[in-house]
Structure 1
Amino acid sequence: MSLSSPSVPLKKTKAISGPFLVCVVLAICIWGGNWPVMKFGSQYIPPLWFAASRFVSAAMLSFAIAAAIGKLRLPRREEWPVVLGVGILQMGLFTALVTGALHFVMPGRASLIAYATSVWVVPGAALVLKQRLSGQQRLATMFSYLGMAIVVLPAVLHADLHGMIGYLMLAAASLSWAINILQIKSTKGVRLDFDLLPWQTLVAALPLTVLALAVEGAPVFLAEPHSWYVIAYTGPLATALTFLIVLQMTQRLSPVTVSVCMLGVPVVGITLSSLIFGEALSADLLMGVALICLGLLIPALPRMSWRRSQGVV
């Protein structure tokens, strides 16, 4: 969703080239496919080690790539808060909570809840960044909240304690990412280029590894061959490679376009989950997805003319 003030005109974005569009679709498909892969991997890898191994492998690859292309450097002083924010909140905490939640709930509905960060970001921008919401933004927020209520409430009302823990973890994961988005929006003069990716993944990997060792013990799961396939997908592919594309999306596209594109991640996750795990596409889930889609698409529409003379507020 757009977080700009209604008094600020929308910025025109550059046309998306064919190759870049292919990369965007690839990133969405990889991240969407990551949900059933994580559910599968949760059978072999404990949640903290799952998150740790993902970012350890991603950090190793991104440091190697950065060194090979001559972009390996220390972050500047003003860049460290963003590096720490992305590494701890968006990468480390978000991933640890999500992988833990998948031990309690199915990946389809889980992916929708975890990626509903805009539900937190829009009101958060009004409260934290003191940005006023336009009429379209208020309408979009209403549809987003309604969609989330339709998706979450039936599941919560019928969930046992086991499922409730999973949904609470997903809500916390979504909030963690939203806090990082607000941090980035409030930080001026720092670009999220590839130069920072190795350090962001390292910041996520170090505390997760220490915590995994302390809580879950030695990584005995490495003796299981299936674990290596899962780590290869979630680390180098779904983290290092995909974040390269997503960082470029963040730089080149408007927040509205990025939000709409990222909505494709839970759509892919839900579709694959229904095919692989037989997760039912119930009426409430489909209706909730439709309302959230509407909430994310409304800000992308041409701005409405709010004429006070006609009594329209």
Structure 2
Amino acid sequence: MPADPALGALAAPRRPLSGGRIEGLAMLAITACSWGFNWPVSKFLLSELPPFAMRTLCCGAGAAFAFAVARARGEVLWPPRGQWRRLVLFATLNYGAFTILTTLALYWLPASEAVIVTYTLPIWAGVLAWPMLGEQPTLGRVAAMVLGLGGVALLVAAGISASWTQIPGVLCGFAAAWVFALGTVIAKRAPLAMPPVTGVGWQALIGTVPVALLALTEHTRWGAITPLGWGAVAYVAILPMSLAYLTWFRALRLLPAGTAATGVLMAPVVGVFASAALLGEPLGLRQLAALAMTLCGVALAARS
């Protein structure tokens, strides 16, 4: 990872922001806000639709939107030869398994807690990078794991003492973080060789298949969805599932990797406060302390 840019900022005069950096920060803000609001909006949708029917609808619509954008950009829509196996693997990890596990985490946990548990994924990416990429664990990464796990433990300790029903949600959140981290590490070792927007569309489409199979076991009353529910579906499909990935890719091109990785940590902050504002979920000292510990751990992992 690149050295901490803050150290250079202390040693050098502050330079005015360039146009590209301003655009990159704007793209990063859109990404973090889109992904952060996704958690309370998805939690609300669970009151409108069964969990996997909700995810199938959102992911399917998101895939269609991504393909439409890719077509408008002039990208080749059909994957290149030799990329299918890798494409299916990434879709299974980063979309299919991740979507199923985060949906289950939201079912058992408040959105504000599910987002904190799941956003430990950069820590696990650092852990997996040791055996898979040969990146030796550093003191910073070990400290990051301790901070991240400490934050999650603080978050759920009181809840578990009151009800053991939170444990499956925590385990699903951790599992979601692990599978996404695994996909990230594999992608670093063998990246997908295809246009980015088309890649998002195909991963969303393929990843929707196992979610749709689970949705077949549910009894869905499509006519019972309220106008607000349809608006929430449109939000999840267009912003977190599609547009946020485009702004994320753009931010990665315009900003240093360390800046982008740390900036996206605003997503769980947005998720926690949006859950309190939109859903009335508790926001006390315990939640804020857990959020701070987890974010410090993830930020340390991103810079180690």
TM-score normalised to the size of structure 1?
A: 0.82
| Secondary structure, counterpart of 2:293 in structure 1 | helix
Q: Which residue of 2 aligns with 1:306?
A: none
Tell me, which stretches of 5 or more residues in structure 2 are unaligned? 6-16
TM-score normalised to the size of structure 2?
A: 0.84
Q: Which residue of 2 aligns with 1:104?
A: 108
- Deviation of 1:126 (Å): 1.3
**Partner letter of residue 291 of structure 1?**
M
- Summarize the Cα distance change of 1:189–1:34 in structure 2 as closer, same or farther, 3 Å threshold: closer
1:71-96: per-residue Cα shift (whole Å, max 9, x none)? 03322244334422332221222122
The answer to whether the 8 A contact 1:192-1:251 is kept is no
- Summarize the Cα distance change of 1:265–1:192 in structure 2 as closer, same or farther, 3 Å threshold: farther
1:36-57: per-residue Cα shift (whole Å, max 9, x none)? 1111110011111111111110
1:119-138: per-residue Cα shift (whole Å, max 9, x none)? 21111111332211233333
1:181 equivalenced with 2:184 (yes/no): yes
The answer to whether the 8 A contact 1:50-1:99 is kept is no
Tell me, which stretches of 5 or more residues in structure 1 are unaligned? 3-8, 304-313
**Partner letter of residue 275 of structure 2?**
S
1:1-313 alignment runs, 5 A limit? 2=1, 10=3, 17-161=21-165, 163-188=166-191, 190=193, 193-213=196-216, 215-217=217-219, 219-226=220-227, 227-298=229-300
The answer to whether the 8 A contact 2:4-2:258 is kept is no
**Partner letter of residue 25 of structure 1?**
A
- Summarize the Cα distance change of 1:185–1:64 in structure 2 as closer, same or farther, 3 Å threshold: same
The answer to whether the 8 A contact 1:44-1:221 is kept is no
The answer to whether the 8 A contact 1:89-1:176 is kept is yes
- Deviation of 1:264 (Å): 0.8
The answer to whether the 8 A contact 1:61-1:240 is kept is yes
Q: Which residue of 2 aligns with 1:307?
A: none
The answer to whether the 8 A contact 2:96-2:209 is kept is no
Percent identity of equivalent pairs:
26
- Summarize the Cα distance change of 1:122–1:243 in structure 2 as closer, same or farther, 3 Å threshold: same
- Summarize the Cα distance change of 1:183–1:81 in structure 2 as closer, same or farther, 3 Å threshold: farther
| Secondary structure, counterpart of 1:101 in structure 2 | helix
- Deviation of 1:20 (Å): 2.7
The answer to whether the 8 A contact 2:36-2:267 is kept is yes
The answer to whether the 8 A contact 2:97-2:176 is kept is yes
The answer to whether the 8 A contact 1:256-1:296 is kept is no
1: distance between equivalents of 2:223 and 2:237?
14
| Secondary structure, counterpart of 1:17 in structure 2 | helix
Task: Return structure 1 stretches of 4+ with deviation > 6 angstroms.
Answer: none
The answer to whether the 8 A contact 2:35-2:267 is kept is yes
Q: Which residue of 1 aligns with 2:13?
A: none
